[in-house]
Amino acid sequence: MPREHQWRYVSAAVALCLFGLLIIWRTFSIQNSPEAAVFLNQAEFYSRLNRTIYPPRGEIYDRNGRLLAGNRTVYEIGVQLDEVDDPREVAIALSALIGVDFNTTLQIASLEPTEDAVYAVLADYVPAEKIELLKAYDVSREPEDMEALACSNDPALDSLFCYPHLTRSYPEDDLASTILGFVNREGVGYFGIEQQYHDLLAGLPESIWVPTDPNRVQELPEVPTGASLVLTIDREIQGEMERILDESVERYGAEGGSIVVMDPATGEVLAMASTPRLDLNEFWRYPEIFPDNLPFNRAVSETYEPGSVFKIITMAAALNEGVVTPETEFTDTGSIEIGGIVVRNWNAQVWGIQDMQGCLQHSLNVCLVWVGQQLKQDTFYEYVDRFGFGYETGIDLAAEADGNLILPGDSNYYLSTFGTNTFGQGLAVTPIQMVSAVSALVNEGQMVVPHLVRAIVQDGAQYNISPQFAGAPISRETAAQLNEMLAVSLEQEASLALVPGYRVAGKTGTAQIPGPNGYLQDQTNTSFAGWGPVDDARFVVYVWLEKPSASIWASDVAAPVFAAVVERLVVLMDIPPDDIRLANAGN
């Protein structure tokens, strides 16, 4: 290099170095400028998203694994306000295809986007079928061209986005609706199983930060899903009971009713039909279908005076205390005085000499008051307590009522109350209380706690729920004695409750209904508590029809419903007729 040119190279090197230093200084100054802090904050803001993961709500199955409550995908349709070209086009398409209000949609789609609001929800809980209509709105573009969340092929609807999410769905519509309850749009369970097990079914939502930078991607945490429940209900039996109940309510002109079927050995409720019922997929119709605080499930939430079906309890107590035996004779004079009132028989007739079998068979009020007197008031109420009346049974359903008892010592208690209570008037019980109480008669004196959840499925394991017993109000011998008495009663009475081929036992109950001015005339509650087969009971059935107009007598109304129920039960539960069953018992 010629020495005279060296200064040029030195100058160029110095200039380039200075330029390099300038770049470094500028980079450094930008990095530490006040604006840089703003950009850093923005970068931090966009580098991650806060997402709340809602675990899918647990499913509800019947005892055979049939889905009763599940989840299905619905869509939220939203509009990106800064991308709307023609709000009218959006409103026309959505009102025509989705059914939303045109004016409201137009108003929302016409909103000017602001810094805080660039997205607005136009519709939610839109079913997948309607989204398909929207996607097919314009066929000029191939579906592959669409973004994953785009709602439509139509370029005019490019601003619409569809976000899928799950919502509760009930495939059986109104079947077992009074047992299941429902979940509202906010995901809160109301009534029945959905309310009782809400915390378990819903799971725990988890809020997490998800990085948008792919370099920082990490595995999303496993949010445990809500537990699933296997109910004791048999879907087929439930469907048949609801059909029989609906037909019976119509045939006998009843205002409503309830049928409960329970396995007396385990307390598993196999069916619990009640009127009215709600299509759970249209839960918003609840106030229309259940006006005036009508109980959602009469079988557990509505109390009523049971009438003669309660005589089972009085007789069970008397037999257990040994104050009477089935052969004890009583001379019925047609009336008896207790606490200043005169009690008469249901037909106001004199029945003469009757044994206890006859008293139950003819459902004699006078006889049962006498039995109560032999038992004494305190002992009688001790047994009422032992059978669980006045308490909730503990069934795993929301809104269970505990009944209404007036006990000695209460300000409105009189001796006449004791008299009427012995034949089931002047006290109020729920059907499920009666079912639980009579389970003692067919379960060797042991009373079971009725329940509806058979198993809980959580974290990949199934936890089966064991039967629970609620004490033994009577002895095994008393249970067997009364069981036989009630079977013979039906047979000798040639009751309409009898089912050919099967020996069943039970008791009718025709109860007067209290009104504001005493008991109502010509209106009754009719019930039947029965079970079978007598030697090895597989089911307890409780039938209650409210205010039937065809007849006021349970023997005409509730007893044939019991027979219809049993005729279906023996088929659905694979119970052979007694002769076949007993012939094969040795095998």
Q: Which of 215, 293, 411, 517 binds other proteins (CB under 8 A)?
A: 215
Q: Tell me if 251 contacts other proteins by CB under 8 A.
A: no
Tokens 């931090």, residue located: 44
Q: Tell me if 392 contacts other proteins by CB under 8 A.
A: no
The C-alpha atoms of residue 1 and residue 361 are separated, in whole angstroms, by 134
The C-alpha atoms of residue 295 and residue 172 are separated, in whole angstroms, by 21
Map residues 175-194 to x or -, x wherever contact with other proteins holds by CB under 8 A: x-------------------
The C-alpha atoms of residue 450 and residue 116 are separated, in whole angstroms, by 55
Nearest distance in Å: CB 297, other proteins: 19
Output 169 or 379, the one with its CB closest to other proteins.
169
Q: Tell me if 76 contacts other proteins by CB under 8 A.
A: no
Binding span for other proteins by CB under 8 A among 41-49, 89-97, 315-323, 562-570? 562-570
Structure tokens at 147: 């973004």
The kind and range of the H/E element at 533 are none
Residues 487-546 close enough to bind other proteins by CB under 8 A: 499-502
The C-alpha atoms of residue 163 and residue 178 are separated, in whole angstroms, by 32
The C-alpha atoms of residue 69 and residue 1 are separated, in whole angstroms, by 91
Output 16 or 220, the one with its CB closest to other proteins.
220
Q: Which of 20, 155, 171, 515 binds other proteins (CB under 8 A)?
A: 171
Output 259 or 570, the one with its CB closest to other proteins.
570
CB atoms closer than 10 angstroms to residue 214: 6
Q: Tell me if 220 contacts other proteins by CB under 8 A.
A: yes
Map residues 132-151 to x or -, x wherever contact with other proteins holds by CB under 8 A: ----------------x---
Map residues 436-455 to x or -, x wherever contact with other proteins holds by CB under 8 A: ------------------xx
The size of the interface with other proteins (CB under 8 A), counted in residues, is: 58
Q: Which of 95, 169, 374, 475 binds other proteins (CB under 8 A)?
A: 169
In 23-171, which ranges are E strands? 48-53, 60-61, 67-80, 119-127, 160-169
Distances (CA, A) of 163 to 76, 105, 203, 410: 5, 18, 22, 61
The C-alpha atoms of residue 508 and residue 490 are separated, in whole angstroms, by 10
Nearest distance in Å: CB 33, other proteins: 26
In 111-242, which ranges are E strands? 119-127, 160-169, 182-183, 189-190, 206-211, 228-231
Output 394 or 577, the one with its CB closest to other proteins.
577
**SS3 of 101-121:** CHHHHHHHHCCCCCCCCCEEE
Is 401:301 a contact under the CB 8 Å cutoff? Answer: yes
- Residue 87: what residue type? P
Q: Tell me if 587 contacts other proteins by CB under 8 A.
A: yes
Output 313 or 563, the one with its CB closest to other proteins.
563
Task: Specify the 3-state DSSP secondary structure of 334.
Answer: coil
Binding span for other proteins by CB under 8 A among 181-189, 207-215, 410-418, 547-555? 207-215
Q: Which of 409, 461, 466, 516 binds other proteins (CB under 8 A)?
A: 461
**SS3 of 15-69:** HHHHHHHHHHHHHHHHHCCHHHHHHHHHHHHHCEEEEEECCCCCCEECCCCCEEE
Q: Tell me if 197 contacts other proteins by CB under 8 A.
A: no
Nearest distance in Å: CB 111, other proteins: 29
CB contact set of 119 (below 8 Å; sequence gap of 6+)? 78, 79, 80, 81, 161
- Residue 125: what residue type? Y
Output 403 or 450, the one with its CB closest to other proteins.
450
Q: Tell me if 72 contacts other proteins by CB under 8 A.
A: yes
Q: Tell me if 586 contacts other proteins by CB under 8 A.
A: no
Q: Tell me if 166 contacts other proteins by CB under 8 A.
A: yes
Output 74 or 398, the one with its CB closest to other proteins.
74
Is 88:95 a contact under the CB 8 Å cutoff? Answer: no
Task: Specify the 3-state DSSP secondary structure of 51.
Answer: strand
Map residues 25-64 to x or -, x wherever contact with other proteins holds by CB under 8 A: -------------------------------x--x-xxxx
The C-alpha atoms of residue 276 and residue 406 are separated, in whole angstroms, by 30
Residue 486 main-chain phi, psi, to 5 deg: -75, -25
The C-alpha atoms of residue 254 and residue 560 are separated, in whole angstroms, by 14
Nearest distance in Å: CB 270, other proteins: 11
Q: Which of 155, 164, 205, 352 binds other proteins (CB under 8 A)?
A: 164
The two beta strands, 228-231 and 60-61, are parallel
Output 238 or 510, the one with its CB closest to other proteins.
238
Nearest distance in Å: CB 20, other proteins: 14
The C-alpha atoms of residue 402 and residue 429 are separated, in whole angstroms, by 7
Nearest distance in Å: CB 6, other proteins: 12
Contacts with other proteins, residue ranges (CB under 8 A): 56, 59, 61-67, 70-73, 128, 148, 164-166, 169, 171-173, 175, 213-217, 219-220, 228, 230, 235-236, 238-239, 454-455, 457, 460-464, 499-502, 567-568, 570-571, 574, 576-577, 580, 584, 587
